[in-house]
Amino acid sequence: MSDEVVRVRAEPLEPAFAEALATWAERLGLACDGEADFALQLGAQGLQLLQLGPDSPGPVRVDFVEGAVAHRRKFGGGSGQMIAKAVGVQPGVRPRVLDATAGLGRDAFVLASLGCDMTLIERQPLIAALLEDGLTRGRLDPETAPIVARMQLLQANAIERMRAWAGEPPQVIYLDPMFPHRDKSALVKKEMRLFRPLVGDDQDAPALLEAALALASHRVVVKRPRKAPVVEGPKPSYALEGKSSRYDIYPKKKL
Mean pLDDT rounded to a whole number for the chain = 90
The reply to whether 62 falls in a domain is no
pLDDT at 180 over 80: no
pLDDT at 154 over 90: yes
Boundaries of domain holding 33 = 8-51
CB–CB of 225/202 below 8 Å? no
The reply to whether 57 falls in a domain is no
The reply to whether 19 falls in a domain is yes
Q: Of the ranges 27-36, 136-145, 175-184, 190-199, which one carries the lowest mean pLDDT score?
A: 175-184
Rounded to an integer, the average pLDDT of 38-63 is: 93
The neighbour count for residue 117, using CB atoms within 10 Å, is 17
Of residues 163 and 68, the one with the higher pLDDT is: 163
The amino acid occupying position 136 is: T
Whether residue 158 sits in one domain with residue 74 = yes
pLDDT at 38 over 50: yes
Residue (of 123, 125, 122) closest to 105 by Cα position: 122
Domain of 166: which CATH number?
3.40.50.150
Contacts (Cβ under 8 Å, ≥6 apart) of 30 = 8, 9, 10, 24, 40
pLDDT at 214 over 60: yes
Going by their DSSP bridges, the two strands 118-122 and 172-175 should be labelled as unpaired
pTM: predicted TM-score of the whole model, two decimal places: 0.91
pLDDT at 71: 66
The reply to whether 3 falls in a domain is no
Rounded to an integer, the average pLDDT of 140-160 is: 96
**Is 176 a known ligand-binding residue?**
yes
pLDDT at 67: 77
The reply to whether 20 falls in a domain is yes
Whether residue 211 sits in one domain with residue 107 = yes
pLDDT at 36: 94
**Is 132 a known ligand-binding residue?**
no
Per-residue confidence at 217, pLDDT binned at 50, 70, 90?
Answer: very high
Whether residue 172 sits in one domain with residue 247 = yes
**Is 107 a known ligand-binding residue?**
yes
Counted domains in the chain:
2
Q: Is 26 exposed, middle or buried (0-12, 13-18, 19+ CB in 10 A)?
A: exposed
DSSP letter, residue 177? -
- Tell me the per-residue pLDDT of 56-72, one tens digit each, with 9 for 90 and over: 888 999 999 987 777 67
Whether residue 206 sits in one domain with residue 111 = yes
Whether residue 198 sits in one domain with residue 151 = yes
Whether residue 72 sits in one domain with residue 139 = yes
Per-residue confidence at 1, pLDDT binned at 50, 70, 90?
Answer: very low
- Tell me the per-residue pLDDT of 87-109, one tens digit each, with 9 for 90 and over: 999 999 999 999 999 999 999 99
pLDDT at 132: 98
| Alpha carbons within 13 A on the beta-carbon side of 60 | 26
**Is 106 a known ligand-binding residue?**
yes
